[in-house]
Structure 1
């Protein structure tokens, strides 16, 4: 996945790879691993339904896959437990281990098959399935045997299940120095009622009032995300959407004094936070790709400063809140997207175990990034090695 994503990210011709693999699939000479690559290519080319259909057919016959390893004699074997979902709803662990010399096996846990007995031989396992609807059955199956897992099992499924938007705020509410607006599940009828009578928002949650942030339940990557300022805007939004279930939360204006919005991604590895990236834009709905970072020397300089001074800057300012977030979430590896409010509090938008942490940005434009990404990757590998060493000492 990491290699194919890098080719697509760099604008290379992945359609030729698609055509070659499709020809093998149609003439019956393609193997299961090439089928999974074909599924990924379809998604990278923007045809998610086709990619998921191919993946479904492949996984009915074969659930275990081994990723290419940088070493011919790996010193560690990791078993990643994935859900049968799109490429954005499993931890993209290949990026974290691509150059590590650690062997990676991915076992897809699907509704149509039970976990294999015995399990594939491994030194440590990690749940990479997300808390999305299509991963719930996978998490349930893993959780049913988690207490009897023969090796260390990281990111246990019952904790992954706390990351959905309507659960996270309950998990983190009350942490000093942290702001996380309540995210509330609302159906179309409730929202149409609120559009007619804004006071009805209070029946969904006491703190709700316009302006609101709204998105379809289960959506990712900003699909359907909008800010609605009043009942008329909410009605217009609903008229343009077909979904029946939505998440809503109050809007927090996190613009800085210069009227720019700054959004940060922080990665937690074994409880320790690391800077991942920083996006700056004149719009509240920031993603790194719409912030114009590659086109602005000033923005990149600020991001570089954020990374280089994280431990004495952002990380120190929010040390207590970040530490409490790590404890409350309780996962071995996860990511938060966050900002700072005007009063200096840490504002959390979301937390998950599947956000992309990569080293694909061109070093000529972002010369400060490779070192930081390697730092995160090294921390992840070191965590795996520590956990295995502790287990081996305990067994001895």
Structure 2
């Protein structure tokens, strides 16, 4: 076992070994400083070479691999580390005020709620427990509050279903303890929940097999047969993808055929395209997170392209776009959130979770467009302050609200 392992006592006074990890936020920040990242990499390799049982070194190497784009190798190393050891502690940045035990699963940065980012620079000690089934309280390290961090995905669905009801008798408070509800936050599941809603608009989404998409491409099956009112153009993407990977707007059966030739998958999401551009022709997409029902703006991207992601919107290259985002962050509570209070209320009633997020926009007639809802959307404060000076105060409010939520749940006063 690694020498970087700390011994903690459970409530039953048994002993649990928790490996010491550098953590996602620390390593993600290092990636932006190549010499620093290289030094960390070399140090971790030296540790792993000297002690093949140093599972924490391997887990941190896996995180660096994923963060630098080698996802496949990173997931392979991560799985090997977790097979050896399931508990990893990231120390608090300040004097510890609370111990949070997070139930997590294998995967990249979209697999679990971004707790390490949310808790950055806080007094919360984070312990990630990679579970493959219902956890046993007797095997848990000492903690004040627990959190079900696993997000919706096809890979996680069986695990979430096995966890249903398993956390009800946990000896400490557990936040987000609704695994079955989380498992149902699929793109089509969310859309189906809000069909015909007066304040929330979700474009029609259907999950279909490759044979069905091939029939659409051949013209042997009409779009209306997949979902009532579905017409060209449509958006097609493989199930399980994120950040626009494999996502395309298609306007004819021939375009679907060409798409299928390049994107092999067993299942796809077919989504009705809705033009949510503003009067100036630009598309605006917001990421909003809810902390015990209270909305916070994590970012707003402004783009010339209908497929909006913060990186491809080139926000760093446009002072005008950043000024618009800054204004949205400054006015969010009294502006956007107030306008969509009814929609936000409906979302939180539908998904009564302590924490989750949505990607959304506005329709021309004033409704809230919801593209996706999940607990694992990336939220961070790593954008450079010299380019985005307005972000730090906004993200601090969000992070402090999350930390306060944990302290309240655990009955532990803040520092």
TM bin, normalised by shorter chain, reads over 0.9
Query: Which residue, out of 185, 189, 192, partners 1:170?
Result: 192
1:117 counterpart residue number: 138
Matched residue, 1:59: 82
Q: 1:22: which partner in 2?
A: 45
- Per the TM alignment, residue 221 of structure 1 is displaced from its structure 2 partner at its CA by 1.4
Aligned twin of 2:161: 140
Equivalent residue number for residue 303 of structure 2 = 281
Q: Which residue of 2 aligns with 1:350?
A: 372
Instruction: Give the structure 1 partner of residue 62 of structure 2.
Output: 39
Distance 1:11 1:326, change over 3 A: farther
Q: CA offsets per residue over residues 133-153 of structure 1, 9 Å max, x none? A: 222343234324122111211
Distance 1:341 1:11, change over 3 A: farther
Q: State the alpha-carbon separation in 2 of the partners of residues 12 and 235 from structure 1.
A: 45
8 Å CA contact 1:198, 1:231 repeated in 2: no
1:224 corresponds in structure 2 to: 246
Partner of 1:394: none
User: Which of 359, 363, 385 is 2:407 aligned to?
Assistant: 385
Work out the number of aligned pairs and report it.
389
Moved more, 9-18 or 39-48: 9-18
Greater alpha carbon shift after TM alignment, 372-381 vs 24-33:
24-33
Work out whether residues 358 and 373 of structure 2, in 8 Å CA contact, stay in contact via their aligned partners in 1: yes
CA contact (8 A) 1:24 1:30 kept: no
Alpha-carbon distance between aligned partners in 2 of 1:17 and 1:272, rounded to the nearest angstrom: 38
Q: In structure 2, how many angstroms separate the alpha carbons of the residues matched to 1:361 and 1:198? A: 48
Residue in 1 that maps onto 2:333 = 311
Q: Distance in 2 between matches of 1:273 and 1:175?
A: 20
Secondary structure of the 2:322 match is helix
Aligned to 1:393: none
Contact 1:82 1:138 in 2 (8 A): no
Matches within 5 A, 1:286-297: 286-297=308-319
Q: CA deviation at 1:336?
A: 0.6
Map of 1:207-286 to 2, 5 A cutoff?
Answer: 207-286=229-308
Cα distance in 2 for residues equivalent to 1:169 and 1:362: 35
**1:293–1:231: structure 2 CA closer, same or farther, 3 Å change rule?**
same
Aligned to 1:3: 26
Report SS of the residue matched to 1:88. Answer: coil
Change (3 A) 1:137 1:120: farther
Structure 1 position 13, deviation (Å): 4.8
Q: Measure the CA separation in 1 of the matches of 2:365 and 2:317.
A: 30
Corresponding residue number in structure 1 for 2:124: 102
Q: How far apart are the structure 1 equivalents of 2:384 and 2:121? A: 17
User: Are the equivalent residues in 2 in contact too, given 1:63–1:107 (CA < 8 A)?
Assistant: yes
Residue 197 of structure 1: aligned partner: 219
Q: Kindly tell me: are residues 377 and 247 of structure 1, through their superposed partners in 2, closer, same or farther at Cα, counting changes over 3 Å?
A: same
TM superposition shift of 1:58: 1.2
Residue aligning to 2:148: 127
SS of the residue aligned with 2:46?
Answer: helix
Shift of 1:177: 1.6
Cα 1:163/1:10, change in 2 over 3 Å? farther
Q: Distance in 2 between matches of 1:131 and 1:186?
A: 18
By percentage of residues, which structure has more helix?
1
Give distance in 1, aligned partners of 2:334 and 2:135: 48
